Structure 1
Amino acid sequence: MDATNADREEPRIRLTANTNVMRNGQVSPPLFPSVPALNGAASYLAETTSYLTSCFPATSDGTPLNSDGQEVVGFKELTEPLLSNNAPPVRDEITRDSVQDCFQNNNSEIVQSNQTSQSGIGISMFQGLVERVKRTVHGSSDDIGWLQRARHMPPIEHGTDRFNNILDNIRHGIHVLPNSMVYLLVPGLFSNHGPLYFTSTKATFSKMGLTCHIAKIHSEASVEKNAREIKEVIEEVHWGSKKRVLILGHSKGGVDAAAALSMYWPELRDKVAGLALAQSPYGGSPIASDIMREGQIGDYFNVRKLMEILISKVIKGDVQSLEDLTYEKRKEFLKKYHLPKELPVVSFHTEANISPAVLATLSRVAHAELPTFSPLSENSTATVLPVVVPLGATLAACAQLLLTRYGEKSDGLVTCRDAEVPGSVVVHPKRKLDHAWMVYSSINDDPSEPDASQVCEALLTLVMEVGLRKKHYLSVKEE
């Protein structure tokens, strides 16, 4: 019994660990200066104790303190290994409970933090979804007609009545376009894949003895690239004929031609007589913006991706050609470049027919020659069949969409307000014409109405008159 009691009553060495010093990051003094190995182990244990005690109050109940306020830690005599697996843990209950409480507190804080973080993420995602829906529904509402609201833009002049008079004279055989000019037709987007684009107008002009050219440009290129090409075409035509050039651009072709005159006017001033823009999205197009802008219809139905594949991969064009027609790009461009004030400009825009009868309208976009199976003679000719597509129905659907969503009248692709160039003479006929009518005639056109070539002739005649009036005004002003 005595031996056992002696074993149980092994003398203890009382070691003091200054927890305040350890918490402040200071190095504790050596506990066993004469035994380096024991001193290292004791220091490690003291540091561990300091780390654990930092999880609960420094002066826990039941923890003995000496007269200096230092926490007293008891270690067994060195008869057993200090770090032996059989050694009873020092202050086992206090350490376990305190650490467990510390971990529980930390876990509860982490759970609360995670719940708060997840709640914040959920709210943020919901707000982002709401903002995206608002942006999608709002679309291009604030952009349509922005040129009319912009400051320092010259006012437009209404020229529909004079245009109708000129068109009526043309239909009665009165033609006043002089052969002292060269007439340049600039086609729009995808014109390289439309064999009949502007061909009837060019043929009509040639029959009247007028020199007419269709600009050979890559219509699916960017506006600035086409502007450089049009500049070169104008210089080449003027150099070969020594005549001034009167330009008519349709759709994106009008935007490209206006860009050429805006960017290179000092070089083209003496070579260009005027410009007519027919159904051109000079201010931008809501269709292009809704396709290319993030968060719009083009995102939800992958229309933007399809257009990128179509333009870039299928027809080997540049998707920048469509992006340049968005409101953002047009605002950037017109902020840098402006049409010269002395240039005569006419803007022409129309409204598409959205009645049910338009569903039966087919537009002729090409023609196909069928081979003959009988032996060819000198007088035999191949059979030619028109290639027709329902362009009218497609553009009527787009016009109905723009009218329903934005309340804007359009030709199916360009709104009337976006086609008006500031400072120009604006023509808005009452006749319902879609965006493709100017270049692709309908197979069931009313013969009592003027055709596309006559409308183009009337527009160029009006441009010439506006130029003569400007010239007269400037000469009077100089005198």
Structure 2
Amino acid sequence: MFRFDPTFLNLQKLIRMGEAGQSREGESNMPLVGGGTVDNVPASQLFTSVPALNEAASYINQATSYLGSCFSDYSVEYGGQGYPHELLQSTSGGDGSSPVSVCVTPGQRCSTSSEASTSTAASSPSRESTETLSQASNAIVTSNGLGGFYGISMFQGLIERARRTVRGSADDIGWLQRDPEMPPVEDGTYRFNKILEDIGHGVHRLPNTLVYLLVPGLFSNHGPLYFVDTKTKFSKMGLACHIAKIHSESSVEKNAREIKEYIEELCWGSNKKVLLLGHSKGGIDAAAALSLYWPDLKDKVAGLVLAQSPYGGSPIATDILREGQLGDYVNLRKLMEIMISKVIKGDIQALEDLTYERRKEFLKNHPLPRELPTVSFRTEASISPAVLATLSHVAHAELPLTNQATKLPVVMPLGAAMAACAQLLQVRYGEKSDGLVTCCDAEVPGSVVVRPKRKLDHAWMVYSSLNEVPLEADAAQVCEALLTLLVQVEEEKQRND
């Protein structure tokens, strides 16, 4: 432990007097250096406490340097905002003769007390007193400046991370609608509802002259019933329907290449054009295939439906992966990377490709072809208490209870999870969503947009609910209506051309 000599108070008083240029009432106004006295204490005796003061400054310097190293990331990241970039270690021997470093502001040079005393000696009548005063002042600056710098840097980092965390994706949601270069959308909700009503009455208009390719979304490899019901009903109507067997947790560009190969294979085998319907990330993958390989596919594809796809980006993915947030303290990005790569055997880039930053970059370089007939489907999830009792049928479990295996449904409360996410996005950003994708980000520029009033969450499109309302259309019928609308849009484009 160290102690401050009582004359340190006199030293502080002397420095304040020198800075103010005047003395307090009743005190003599003496120069900072020279042979005068302060309160009848000779200057030679006044500075005998400087070695102890330097030891104290060295101790404080070492302590603050150690604490500062714990927050080095923040001092580096936010050190360019008017604070020193480099700090020189301050050491002091027992005699106080070792140089004491001074931390200066950017644009100035960090100098030692020996340099300061040398420059002072040229204009001072007493070099010894001046050098001692310089060391004392430098020690005070160092001990105060280092602690203040690290404290300010640390709290600036915390404040900035808190601001980024609270602000989140507020500036990114809906950027497609704000971009003047993007083409406008057309509302096709009325036409969709009419088609859906006809389907409910047994009127089906999908032609068998096309091949229908369903592209599943993220984590579809772990959902054995993903799109299965839709494919089964399409096949019963005599339609050629396929589910793209892609690794949905792969990057968008990798899946785009695989979808291109799917399309070419289907066209080669059937000599028919392909109509695509992609759900969630599947819509992004399908759109990327057409954007990247349109010269090779323009004679093979009749149109594209993007159902609940984060075409503009996803606030969920962006908020999880955005750097500089409070979540960095628990390495949220690293945890997500481990879960996707080790547990799900996927690629973290699959999630990165859904962030606003990546979507803006990709669409800038690879927009959808204007001549491609496109329909986009966006929905809003219900957040009522009744949705908590909704269970989604996601798989079958075969149990050998008798001579034949008995299939039991595997259910999950996906509706409740989607409702919780939708409420979070509503409270945080004031945006309506299906639980994962905001309504405005699901509307593709230049497309015919379907905006149903019925509350449908993100999982409903692929997993049926155990408590479905009999009079309401199921997911297969909704997919049929979307594709029928797309056929009509494609026919209109051909007539206009």
**Structure 2 residue 253 is matched with structure 1 residue 230:** no
Give per-residue Cα distances to partners, 1:177-234, cap 9 Å, x unaligned. Answer: 1111000000000001100000000000000000000001110000111111100110
2:111 matched residue in structure 1: none
Q: Which residue, out of 123, 128, 133, partners 2:152?
A: 123
Partners of 2:379 and 2:451 within 8 A in 1: yes
| Partner of residue 163, structure 1 | 192
Question: Structure 1 residues 447, 301: closer, same or farther in 2, change over 3 A?
Answer: farther
Question: Structure 1 residues 57, 220: CA separation in 2 closer, same or farther (over 3 Å shift)?
Answer: closer
Return the alpha-carbon distance in structure 2 between the equivalents of residues 55 and 269 of structure 1. 78
Distance 2:122 2:344 in 1: 78
Structure 2 letter corresponding to 1:469: E
Give the drift of 1:105.
Answer: 2.2
Paired position in structure 2 for 1:17: none
Out of 348, 362, 370, the residue aligned to residue 341 of structure 1 is 370
Q: Is the 8 A contact 1:186 1:250 kept in 2?
A: yes
Of structures 1 and 2, the one scoring higher in RCO (CA 8 A, sep 6+) is 1
CA drift of 1:132 comes to: 2.0
| Pairs within 5 Å for 1:19-58 | 54=118, 57=121
Alignment of 1:241-320 (within 5 A): 241-296=270-325, 298-299=327-328, 302-320=331-349
1:445 maps to which of 439, 462, 468? 468
Which residue pairs with 2:18 in the alignment?
none
Distance 1:105 1:453, change over 3 A: same
Alpha-carbon shift at residue 263 of structure 1 (Å)? 0.6
Matches within 5 A, 1:88-167: 99=128, 102-167=131-196
Amino acid at match of 1:326: T
Q: How does 1:320-469 map to 2 (within 5 A)?
A: 320-373=349-402, 376=403, 381-469=404-492
3-state DSSP of counterpart to 1:418: helix
Equivalent pair of 2:117/2:130 in contact (CA under 8 Å):
no
Q: How many angstroms does 1:56 deviate by?
A: 6.9
CA RMSD of aligned residues (A): 2.1
**SS across alignment from 2:249:** coil
Letter in 2 for 1:281: P
Report if the CA contact (8 A) 2:249-2:350 is conserved: yes
- Number of paired residues? 384
Alpha-carbon displacement from aligned partner over 1:279-321 (angstroms, at most 9, x marks no partner): 0000001011111112346435654333211110011110000
Q: 2:108 aligns to what?
A: none
Contact map agreement 1:291 1:297 (CA 8 A) in 2 = no
Matched letter for residue 409 of structure 2: P
| TM-fit CA distance, 1:137 | 1.0
> Is the 8 Å Cα contact of residues 121 and 127 (structure 2) preserved in structure 1?
no
Which structure 1 segments of 5+ residues have no match?
1-50, 62-96, 475-479
Report deviation, 1:112: 1.4
For residue 133 of structure 1, report the CA deviation from its aligned partner.
Answer: 1.6
CA distance in 2, matches of 1:56, 1:351: 74
Q: Which amino acid aligns with 2:262?
A: V
CA deviations 1:335-391 (Å, max 9, x no partner) are 100111111000001000100011111111101010135xx3xxxx32110011111
Q: Is the 8 A contact 2:121 2:130 kept in 1?
A: no
Percent identity among equivalent residues? 70
Shift of 1:124: 3.1
> What amino acid is aligned across from residue 453 of structure 2 in structure 1?
K
The equivalent residue for 2:43 is none
Give the letter aligned to residue 443 of structure 1: L
SS in structure 1 opposite 2:171?
A: coil
**In the alignment, is the contact (CA less than 8 A) between 2:185 and 2:446 conserved in 1?**
yes
Aligned residue number for residue 219 of structure 1: 248
Whole-angstrom CA distance in 2 between matches of 1:455 and 1:311:
31
Offset of 1:129 from its aligned partner? 2.3
The equivalent of 1:201 in structure 2 is 230
In the TM superposition, what is the alpha-carbon distance from 1:152 to its structure 2 partner? 1.5
Query: 1:115 Cα shift?
Result: 1.6
Question: Any gaps of 5 or more consecutive residues in structure 2?
Answer: 1-114
User: Compared with structure 1, are the counterparts of its residues 59 and 346 closer, same or farther at alpha carbon in structure 2 (3 Å cutoff)?
Assistant: closer
| Aligned-partner Cα distance in 1 for 2:154–2:445 | 43
Distance 1:52 1:198 in 2: 78
Query: Could you list the per-position Cα deviations for residues 148-180 of structure 1 after superposition, in whole angstroms to 9, with x for gaps in the alignment?
Result: 001211100000000000001111111111111
In structure 2, what is the Cα distance between the partners aligned to 1:438 and 1:300? 36
Q: Distance in 2 between matches of 1:253 and 1:416?
A: 17
Q: Distance in 2 between matches of 1:371 and 1:302?
A: 44
Q: CA deviation at 1:421?
A: 0.3
Aligned residue for 1:127, secondary structure, equals: helix
> Are the equivalent residues in 1 in contact too, given 2:375–2:448 (CA < 8 A)?
yes
Q: 2:315 & 2:224 partners in 1: Cα distance?
A: 27
Structure having the higher Rg: 1
CA distance in 1, matches of 2:173, 2:183: 18
Shift of 1:447: 1.1
Displacement of 1:131 in angstroms is 2.2
Q: Is the 8 A contact 1:55 1:102 kept in 2?
A: no
